[in-house]
Every structure is written in structure tokens, then in C-alpha cells.
């Protein structure tokens, strides 16, 4: 009975060890399988070394390596982090999965002395992309640090050859020069610099105040010029309006005078026509009499004039000209004419 119990206990212990060994073996096998499999995301890659020597580059998808023998090669990388207080800071880490997408490095403000000895601060951004992974790992020890230092030194050289005014007004020129320098220098590192952008250029405080005064004076000058031009245009429009009004008034007066002259001419023509008709009738009426029609008409005109002279209130004296004797004679002719007309 005791033998049977010890036998059972030994069998149970053996089974337990067998199960534990099987579980450990399964875990080891699973870990080995997991270590053999490398899943690479899209737009990423991984450099693998075998016994410290470059073996190959793993691209996106499922890849297999030999554990222990093959190891991924890490690359230095920088990334922005935010602490609890919300302040951003840059941290350099090592990563085995290399991002092939376009990256942006936002550097801190850099102190630069311009050609006219003005100390300014320039904030720059760099956009680049890794094109050859092996060069980015084996040709440079710390790629982000090298790019940052190269950008800063190049920025000092380019801005140092320009004056303050040129730096403030020639950002595109600075960007182009920096891009050419950076792209040429980073080509051997397997990096393509796509563009360089200057975010901000900050001159000293006293120069900022002087620039603000200058800008304020320029705005005031432009305001005065615009006001003067507005007044000038207003005066021109007003004078043109007055001139146009005078022209139209003169045209109206001209037309009125023309119409008045035309009316007077027509009136005189009608009067002359009427007088001619009257003369014709008088001539026809005196055709059988001995009286001269001209003397008759002259006598009638004298009588009308005499009537006008004596029609006023203050006209007490009438001066008869020397030629009035002819008029009196004409009156006698008128009497004879009327007598002749009555007999007839």
C-alpha cells in the first residue's frame, strides 16, 4: 500500500514537471517566433545587422529575422514632448523603425549678427526626408543634431552677409540660399532637404521702437497724401461741375438770345410785311387823287411821334422842328386826300 502511494506521488510529480517543461518550451518557442517576425508599418523601414554587420533593410509588411544573430540598428531621433504644465520640450531618443515621411524640425531662436552689426533673433523651420536609410545611419552619428547645427551655422553665414533691412525684406532669398546649402551638405547623409522657412525675425527692442515710429510716420504721411489727393480730386470735380454749369448756362443764354433775335427778326419781318401791305393799300387808295402817298405816310408817322411826345404827364412844352412846316403841308395833303376819298 505504501509502495503504491509513493508510486502515485512520483507519477504526479513527474507529470507536473512535464507539464511545466512543456509550458516553458511553448513560451520559448512562441517568444522565438515573435522574435523572428518583424512587422514594419507603411512608410517605415528597419536596418538589420547580423553579428554587427549590415545585413539588409526591412520594408513595410511582414519580415523574418534570425533571433540572436540578427538585430535591428537604432537611429537617433528627436521628438517634441509636452510636460504636465503644458510646456513643450525636445527629447532625443533611439528608434529602430525609421520614418521615411517628410519630417519637420522646429529649432529654437538663433542669435545672428547682421552685416550692419545688429543682433537679431531668427526662428527657422526645416523640412527634410530620409531617402537613403543606410547613409542616414552609417554616414553620420547623430542625424538630428547634425542637421540642427548645420542649419544654425548656415543661417549665421547667410544672414551675416545681409543688413537688417535686407534680412527683413529678403526672406525668400535667405530661404533659397539656406535650402541650397543644406541640400548639398546633407546629400551624403542620405537626406533630402525640401524647404527651409523663416518663421520670425526679431530685431532688438530699441530698433523695434524706431521701426514702429518710422512706420507710424509713414502711415501719417500716406494719410496726409491721401487726404490731399482726396481734396484735390474734390476741388477738380467741383471746378469741373462749375465749369459745366457755366457752359450749360452760357449755352442756355446763347439759345435764348438766338431765339429772341429770331423772334425779333420775325416780328420785324411781319411788321415790315404789314407796312408794305399798308403802303400798297394807301397807294391803291390814292391812285385817283393828286396827293403823293409818300407825303401821306410821312405825315402819319409825324403824328404818331407827336402823340408819343405829348402823352407824358410832365410834357408841357413841345418843340416843333424846323422841318415841321413840311409836316403841316402834309396835313393839308391828308385833308385833300380824305376829301377826294369822300367824293369818290
Residue 226 and residue 189 share a domain: no
Residue 226 and residue 181 share a domain: no
Range of the domain at 62: 2-50+57-70
Q: Is residue 9 part of a domain?
A: yes
Cβ count within 10 A of residue 53: 6
**So what's the pLDDT on residue 287?**
61
List the Cα angle 196/201/207 in 5-degree steps. Answer: 160
- Give dist(CA 43, CA 49) in Å, integer: 20
Strand ranges (E), 70-160: 70-73, 75-82, 88-95, 98-99, 103-106, 110-113, 119-130
Candidates 125, 193, 110; CA nearest to 157 is 110
Residues 6+ apart with CB under 8 A from 1: none
Alpha carbon dihedral 253, 258, 263, 264, in 10-degree steps, equals: 100
Point out the least confidently predicted range of 73-87, 156-170, 225-239, 285-299: 285-299
Mean pLDDT across the stretch 236-248? Answer: 85
pLDDT band at 1 (very low <50, low <70, confident <90, very high): very low
Residue 131 and residue 116 share a domain: yes
CA distances in angstroms from 17 to 9, 28, 213, 217, listed in the order given: 12, 16, 89, 93
Examine the pLDDT at 74 and tell me if it is beyond 70: yes
Point out the least confidently predicted range of 18-32, 53-67, 289-303: 289-303
Q: Which of 163, 178, 203 is the last residue of a domain?
A: 203
pLDDT band at 3 (very low <50, low <70, confident <90, very high): very low
pLDDT band at 92 (very low <50, low <70, confident <90, very high): confident
Residue 198 and residue 99 share a domain: yes
Residue 314 and residue 251 share a domain: no
Examine the pLDDT at 281 and tell me if it is beyond 60: yes
Residue 192 and residue 108 share a domain: yes
Mean pLDDT across the stretch 5-15? Answer: 61
Q: Which of 203, 228, 249 is the last residue of a domain?
A: 203
Q: Is residue 335 part of a domain?
A: yes
- Give dist(CA 182, CA 176) in Å, integer: 10
Residue 232 and residue 270 share a domain: yes
Residue 95 and residue 125 share a domain: yes
Nine-digit cell at 254? 446763347
- Give dist(CA 317, CA 329) in Å, integer: 22
Convert the pLDDT of each residue in 244-254 to its tens digit: 888 888 888 88
Number of compact structural domains in the chain: 4
Average pLDDT of the chain?
A: 80
pLDDT band at 311 (very low <50, low <70, confident <90, very high): low
Q: Is residue 184 part of a domain?
A: yes
Candidates 46, 94, 75, 77; CA nearest to 145 is 77
Q: Which of 256, 282, 308 is the last residue of a domain?
A: 282
Mean pLDDT across the stretch 165-194? Answer: 91
Residue 186 and residue 131 share a domain: yes
The conformation of residue 187, written as its DSSP 8-state character, comes to G
DSSP, collapsed to helix, strand or coil, labels residue 330 as: helix
Residue 170 and residue 98 share a domain: yes
Mean pLDDT across the stretch 34-63? Answer: 91
Amino acid at each position: 500500500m505504501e509502495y503504491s502511494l509513493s508510486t502515485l506521488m512520483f507519477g504526479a510529480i513527474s507529470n507536473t514537471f512535464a507539464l511545466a517543461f512543456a509550458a516553458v518550451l511553448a513560451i520559448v518557442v512562441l517568444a522565438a517566433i515573435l522574435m523572428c517576425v518583424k512587422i514594419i508599418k507603411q512608410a517605415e523601414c528597419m536596418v538589420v545587422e547580423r553579428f554587427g554587420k549590415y545585413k539588409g533593410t526591412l520594408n513595410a509588411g511582414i519580415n523574418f529575422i534570425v533571433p540572436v544573430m540578427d538585430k535591428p540598428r537604432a537611429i537617433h531621433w528627436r521628438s517634441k514632448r509636452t510636460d504636465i504644465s503644458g510646456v513643450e520640450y525636445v527629447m532625443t531618443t533611439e528608434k529602430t523603425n525609421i520614418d521615411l515621411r517628410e519630417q519637420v524640425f522646429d529649432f529654437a531662436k538663433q542669435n545672428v549678427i547682421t552685416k550692419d552689426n545688429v543682433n537679431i533673433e531668427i526662428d527657422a523651420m526645416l523640412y527634410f526626408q530620409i531617402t537613403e536609410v543606410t547613409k542616414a545611419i552609417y554616414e553620420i552619428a547623430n542625424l538630428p543634431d547634425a542637421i540642427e547645427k548645420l542649419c544654425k551655422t548656415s543661417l549665421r553665414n547667410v544672414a551675416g552677409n545681409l543688413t537688417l533691412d535686407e534680412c527683413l525684406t529678403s526672406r525668400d532669398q535667405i530661404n533659397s540660399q539656406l535650402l541650397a546649402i543644406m541640400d548639398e551638405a546633407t546629400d551624403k547623409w542620405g537626406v533630402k532637404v525640401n524647404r527651409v522657412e523663416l518663421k520670425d525675425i526679431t530685431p532688438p527692442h530699441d530698433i523695434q521702437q524706431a521701426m514702429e515710429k518710422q512706420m507710424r510716420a509713414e502711415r501719417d504721411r500716406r494719410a496726409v497724401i491721401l487726404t490731399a489727393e482726396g481734396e484735390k480730386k474734390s476741388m477738380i470735380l467741383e471746378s469741373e461741375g462749375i465749369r459745366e454749369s457755366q457752359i450749360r448756362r452760357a449755352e442756355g443764354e446763347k439759345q435764348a438770345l438766338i431765339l429772341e433775335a429770331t423772334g425779333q427778326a420775325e416780328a420785324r419781318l411781319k411788321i415790315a410785311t404789314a407796312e408794305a401791305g399798308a403802303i400798297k393799300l394807301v397807294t391803291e387808295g390814292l391812285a385817283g387823287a393828286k396827293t403823293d402817298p409818300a407825303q401821306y405816310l410821312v405825315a402819319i408817322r409825324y403824328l404818331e411821334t407827336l402823340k408819343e411826345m405829348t402823352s407824358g404827364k410832365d410834357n408841357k412844352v413841345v418843340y416843333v422842328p424846323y422841318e415841321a412846316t413840311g409836316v403841316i403841308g402834309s396835313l393839308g395833303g391828308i385833308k385833300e386826300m380824305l376829301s377826294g376819298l369822300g367824293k369818290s
